[in-house]
Amino acid sequence: MTGTGLATAGAVRFGATPATSFTVVSDTHITAVAPAGTGTVPVTVTTPGGTSNGVSYTYSLAPTLSGVSPNQGPALGGNTVILTGVNFTGATAVIFGATPATSFTVVSPTQITAVVPAATAGPVGVTVTTPGGSSTLQSAYFYVSTPVLTGVAPPSGPLSGGNTVTLTGVHLIEATAVRFGTTAASGFTVVSDSQITAVVPAGAAGLADVTVSTVGGTSNAVSYTYLPAPVVTVLTPSQGPASGGITFTLIGTDLAQTTTVLVGGPPAGFTVVSDTHIVVDAPPGAPGTVNVTVTTPGGTSAPKTYTRVASPGV
């Protein structure tokens, strides 16, 4: 209490109740321990010269924090949460664990909005302090680590999508979205904290950045390649001995990532010379015409025909 003529104070009262104790610091300054009370009461000082005017003192109820929503977010902080409870009027602090909120606004006696500070991953208590006291809700908020991707397998596939890939990394367990570029995966399953399987959406030929999002943020990107289906335009020579033992050449486009060449039924040996050129080892087989197809992660080519010719007899 500050004022004048306080040096000889004999009593300090909060309403009709004496202060628990008081100390005269100077003729203009008294410190007093407030007694229990409710509402707003006048505080007065009594000296041999009389009783002072009253100045208002308000007893505040202790706050009660009952909820935090959302109750989790990135370890980097910066997101806004809503605290609910009662007796928030006059709040002087909001603390996450041991760290004060970046900022907060008392919306009403029952609601506070707060900007979450940065912290390490894990649960923390949240505390609201007012002139009436403090309230802590233990483990009320969970800091989530940002996801990290280390790979995608297989790393390529057809333009039409529909194939399934496996994403590996860490902090993937709470994934809320998987994207290929800006397009959401057709579907995904969180297998573990280090693995997600995702169904690839359709996309344009070329590289796409694959990312995973959780409440902890969005991961780094790993590359996935959309490949057009291979096209074979020329097969030469188009015939050879039924006994095999020769090679033929396939000319076309998007052949560089060939995984299989089928000549009739079984796979044939082959060498990729370039994106437009493959040399195939003709396997033996029954005389007649067979289909030749090329398969890459982008799909399978339309068939070309190769004719096996029987050896001449005398």
Question: Which residue do the tokens 């057709």 mark?
Answer: 186
**Is the dihedral angle over the CA atoms 17, 23, 24, 25 positive or is it negative?**
negative
For residues 239-247, give the mean pLDDT: 94
**Rounded to 10 degrees, what is the CA torsion of 260, 263, 267, 269?**
-80
- pLDDT for 314 equals 66
CA dist., res. 12 & res. 1, Å (int): 10
Model confidence pLDDT, tens digit, residues 163-201: 999 999 999 999 999 999 999 999 999 999 999 999 999
Model confidence pLDDT, tens digit, residues 298-314: 999 999 999 999 987 66
- pLDDT for 75 equals 94
Model confidence pLDDT, tens digit, residues 20-55: 999 999 999 999 999 999 889 999 999 999 999 999
Domains of the chain: 11-58 (no CATH), 64-144 (2.60.40.10), 148-227 (2.60.40.10), 231-309 (2.60.40.10)
CA dist., res. 41 & res. 54, Å (int): 8
pTM of the predicted protein model: 0.73
3 state SS for 237-306: CCEEECCCCCEEEEEEECCCCCCEEEECCCECCEEEEECCEEEEECCCCCCEEEEEEEEECCEECCCEEE
Counting beta carbons within 10 angstroms of the beta carbon of residue 275, is it exposed (0 to 12), middle (13 to 18) or buried (19 or more)?
middle
